[in-house]
Amino acid sequence: MPQISNTLRLADEAMSIKYNTMVYELKAAGHNVTVMSLGEAYFDIPLMPFDDLPFPDIYHYSHPRGIPQLRRKIADYFRTEYGADFDPNSEIIITAGSKAAIYMSLLSIIEPGDEVLYSEPTWVSYPEQIKLCHGVPVGLPYDHPPADYRQYITPKTKAIIITNPHNPRGYVFSEADLTHLVGLARQYNLWLLCDEAYSDFVIDGSFTSLTKLDPNKSNSIVFNSLSKNLGFSGWRLGYVISNRDLIFQVLKVNQHLITCPATILEHYVFKHFDEILAITKPQIAELAHKRELLARYMDQIGLTYLEGTATFYFFVSIGSSRLGSEEFATKLLKEHLVAVVPGIGYGASCDRFIRVSIATASLEENKDGLDRIRNLIDETS
């Protein structure tokens, strides 16, 4: 067999996939596992009709930027929900998921050797995507707030990526945080990339879209996910918003990489957008309420976690346990039948943490799972 590329040494399968595969095997062997490891929320949404979508347009390639009516719909949503404006004709492109949007944007800006900063715990694909673009991933330790980012900027720094609200800690960036970062990007001539995939999971009004604070989008590239916010993560619909020049680069990359997202699903989402949001928003609110209750429960039983109020994750400290996060998570799964993901999968600074997802288990199951985490910490201290 000829060689496989040696330059692009990707990490093996993401830690979350590894643990979820172990869960699958334990379940298949008849064990009753409490699953706090999944990266998906399961909403209860009916399937709406497909047969009244514009036929036969649904079969063919979309407009290269995504169907215009859906772009306008998203622009309206930004105006009413986030108080932010962008031009639906030139400042957005709809992509096959926000993951592809982020990759294509990185590919549009990175020269080989350019450094890209992001904070740990990181969304697992940032370092790998940066490496695939021949850039250098620079993970900032988890205990460094945005005010500390400046000290990591070098002449090779090209961009800073943030996730707001932060996945997997749940931190919502304040307007002051974002203003500081926009200032930093302007001062050092950097791109500021902001993944807002969990924007609808902030229900207390504290979310600010970066598009509002950098209205010309001269330094900003903003991503969001339709499939995540609307509850069909498997449909791969996302978008990127930036200035027209950057969007034009992404458009060219997209034409050679993917062409467009599935046209029929763009039409479906456009047609049923308001209806689906009306169904998912109360379920998101319920999930947020569950997160609040579980935060209080952790306070009661003496578990600590990184500051945050949104998403359906907690990044929980394993405190005084003498185990590393992988050993801890493996023992927790095999001996106590609770599945979480080891912190080390989210950055070198995160080996004293585990990622806990509260999305799929019930409130009582989640409490029971947290009790077992508490016990395992004590048992291994």
Instruction: Name which of residues 199 to 218 contact a second copy (CB under 8 A).
Output: 218
* 82, amino acid identity: Y
Residues 61-90 that bind a second copy (CB under 8 A): 61-62, 64
Calculate the alpha carbon distances from 303 to 74, 295, 322, 340 in Å.
40, 9, 16, 15
Token digits for 228? 């995540």
| 263 is a contact residue toward a second copy (CB under 8 A) | yes
* Nearer to a second copy among residue 268 and residue 353 (C-beta): 268
* Nearer to a second copy among residue 107 and residue 337 (C-beta): 107
Stretches 102-110, 138-146, 326-334, 343-351: which one binds a second copy (CB under 8 A)? Answer: 102-110
**Residues binding a second copy: number (CB under 8 A):** 75
Q: Give the whole-angstrom CA distance, residue 328 versus residue 313.
A: 18
* Nearer to a second copy among residue 205 and residue 234 (C-beta): 234
Token digits for 41? 């929320």
| 47 is a contact residue toward a second copy (CB under 8 A) | yes
| 59 is a contact residue toward a second copy (CB under 8 A) | yes
Stretches 172-180, 227-235, 287-295, 327-335: which one binds a second copy (CB under 8 A)? Answer: 227-235
| 155 is a contact residue toward a second copy (CB under 8 A) | no
Sign of CA dihedral 19, 20, 26, 29: negative
Phi-psi region of 259 (alpha: psi -120 to 50; beta: other; left: phi over 0): left
Q: Given the DSSP bridges, would you call strands 34-35 and 338-339 parallel, antiparallel or unpaired?
A: parallel
Helices (H), the chain: 15-28, 68-77, 98-109, 125-132, 175-188, 210-213, 226-229, 244-257, 263-301, 325-336, 363-379
Token digits for 66? 């995504």
Per-residue 3-state assignment (H helix, E strand, C coil) for 238-302: EEEECCHHHHHHHHHHHHHHCCCCCHHHHHHHHHHHHHHHHHHHHHHHHHHHHHHHHHHHHHHHC
| Minimum CB distance to a second copy, residue 235 (Å) | 5
| Minimum CB distance to a second copy, residue 92 (Å) | 17
Residues 301-360 that bind a second copy (CB under 8 A): none
| Minimum CB distance to a second copy, residue 370 (Å) | 25
| 24 is a contact residue toward a second copy (CB under 8 A) | no
| Minimum CB distance to a second copy, residue 180 (Å) | 17
Stretches 11-19, 203-211, 277-285, 324-332: which one binds a second copy (CB under 8 A)? Answer: 11-19
Residue 157 pairs in a beta bridge with 115
| 32 is a contact residue toward a second copy (CB under 8 A) | no
| Minimum CB distance to a second copy, residue 193 (Å) | 11
| 6 is a contact residue toward a second copy (CB under 8 A) | yes
| 4 is a contact residue toward a second copy (CB under 8 A) | yes
* Nearer to a second copy among residue 257 and residue 295 (C-beta): 257
| 279 is a contact residue toward a second copy (CB under 8 A) | no
* Nearer to a second copy among residue 193 and residue 329 (C-beta): 193
Binding mask 114-153 for a second copy (x = CB under 8 A): -----------x--xx--x-x-------------------
Q: Give the whole-angstrom CA distance, residue 159 versus residue 203.
A: 29
Residues 157-186 that bind a second copy (CB under 8 A): 158-159, 185
| 28 is a contact residue toward a second copy (CB under 8 A) | no
Q: Give the whole-angstrom CA distance, residue 115 versus residue 160.
A: 9
Token digits for 30? 């008849």
| Minimum CB distance to a second copy, residue 96 (Å) | 5
Strand, coil or helix: 121: coil
Strand, coil or helix: 62: coil
| 189 is a contact residue toward a second copy (CB under 8 A) | yes
* Nearer to a second copy among residue 185 and residue 376 (C-beta): 185
HSE-up (13 A, CA, CB side) for residue 316: 31
| 56 is a contact residue toward a second copy (CB under 8 A) | yes
